[in-house]
């Protein structure tokens, strides 16, 4: 599928923005063709096996679960993803027309991954807990059709507005509060081609993975101006790649243009996810 085929006229995302505002997550089914996703999965697994063999190439998110940040060029569908009309519509509507693409990576649980503690990905800024405004989005694309034994992602609906300043690292609610998140928790079973958009502040967790099939999930992180998460990442591209990007991607991408790509040493470690829970 070409970029042109994925980039029809702008769409109205108002209903999906309302769902995001209410639930903290929304999805678009069948956004990409399955053959496109097959290539994405191959890119993720190639990058994983390269990263896991060098120090700092992958960061643990619990037993048998890793996160790997990659260079945009390591993902052949990067431009297609960033230029998808639903992605651009959600980013513009929620984050404003000057939104900033700051992260591309993937999370990979394997057989033996355990329940993660309930958490959010970073502390909530005053713009969110006080003003109820989302300043950062995470788009997720599964590399496989998710089944119940694949440790599906579980998200506690509506918790993106929770204050969280009293939590450990402002990210991990105390175990005594977990029952509330479990009551709100919804396990997601996306299929290849689906894409979701969520606030990374909506409390969530990965669950126990019993399948021998890995469940890689691509993550695209996008900020509103001033949100500041670009400091956690260091996206690099070569000049020829940068010049070939469509303006709708290039104009929003926060990156360094370099002569040679340098292997990424992972920085986005989340203390508290190293140990899983039963």
| In the chain, where the domains are located | 14-258
Specify whether the CB–CB gap between 215 and 151 falls below 8 A. yes
The mean predicted confidence, pLDDT, of the chain is 92
Whole-number Cα distances in Å, 259 to 70, 76, 81, 241, 256: 17, 19, 24, 11, 10
Nearest residue to 37 via CA among 143, 191, 116: 143
**pLDDT, tens digit, 9 for 90 and up, residues 144-180:** 999 999 999 999 999 999 999 999 999 999 999 999 9
What's 115's DSSP letter? B
d(CA 212, CA 219): 22
| Residue 233 pLDDT grade (very low, low, confident, very high; cuts 50, 70, 90) | confident
What's the rounded Cα separation, in Å, for the pair 72 and 48? 14
pLDDT tens figures, 111-142: 999 999 999 999 999 999 999 999 999 999 99
Q: Return the pLDDT at 237.
A: 97
- The dihedral sign for the CA sequence 13, 127, 59, 266: positive
CB neighbours (10 Å) of residue 54?
11
Is 98's pLDDT higher than 70?
yes
57 vs 191 pLDDT, higher one: 191
Strand partners, 23: none
pLDDT tens digit sequence for 32-77? 999 999 999 999 999 999 999 998 899 888 899 999 999 999 999 9
**Mean pLDDT for the stretch of residues 16-28:** 98
**Percentage above 70 pLDDT, the chain:** 92
Contact between 237 and 73 under an 8 Å Cβ cutoff? The reply is yes
Q: What pLDDT, on the 0 to 100 scale, is given for residue 7?
A: 46
Return the SS3 of 253. strand
* Residue 99 pLDDT greater than 70, yes or no: yes
CA distance 141 to 35: 14
CATH superfamily membership of 14-258: q2cbj1_9rhob like domain (2.60.120.620)
Helix, strand or coil, per DSSP, at residue 222: strand
Whether 5 has a pLDDT exceeding 80, the answer reads no
Q: Of the candidates 228, 197, 229, 5, which has an alpha carbon nearest to the alpha carbon of residue 93?
A: 197
CB 253 within 8 A of CB 82: yes
């Amino acid at each position: 599928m070409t970029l042109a085929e994925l980039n029809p006229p702008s769409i109205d995302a108002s209903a999906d923005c309302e769902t995001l505002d209410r639930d903290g997550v929304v999805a678009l089914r069948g956004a990409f063709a399955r053959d496109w996703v097959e290539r994405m999965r191959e890119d993720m697994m190639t990058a994983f096996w390269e990263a896991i063999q060098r120090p700092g190439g992958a960061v643990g998110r619990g037993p048998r679960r890793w996160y790997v940040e990659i260079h945009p060029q390591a993902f052949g569908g990067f431009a297609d993803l960033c230029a998808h009309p639903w992605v651009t519509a959600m980013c513009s509507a929620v984050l404003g027309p000057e939104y900033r693409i700051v992260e591309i990576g993937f999370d990979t649980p394997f057989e033996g991954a355990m329940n993660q503690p309930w958490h959010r990905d970073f502390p909530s800024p005053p713009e969110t807990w006080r003003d109820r405004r989302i300043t950062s989005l995470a788009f997720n694309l599964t590399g496989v059709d998710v089944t119940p034994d694949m440790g599906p992602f579980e998200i506690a609906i509506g918790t993106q507005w929770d204050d969280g300043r009293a939590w450990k690292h402002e990210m991990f609610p105390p175990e005594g509060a977990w029952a509330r998140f479990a009551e709100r928790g919804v396990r997601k079973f996306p299929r290849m081609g689906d894409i979701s958009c969520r606030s990374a502040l909506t409390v969530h967790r990965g669950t126990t993975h019993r399948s021998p099939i890995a469940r890689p999930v691509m993550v695209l992180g996008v900020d509103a101006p001033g949100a500041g998460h670009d400091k956690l990442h260091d996206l690099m591209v070569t000049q020829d790649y940068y010049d070939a990007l469509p303006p709708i991607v290039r104009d929003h991408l926060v990156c360094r243009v370099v002569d040679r790509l340098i292997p990424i040493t992972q920085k986005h470690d989340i203390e508290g996810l190293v140990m899983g829970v039963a």
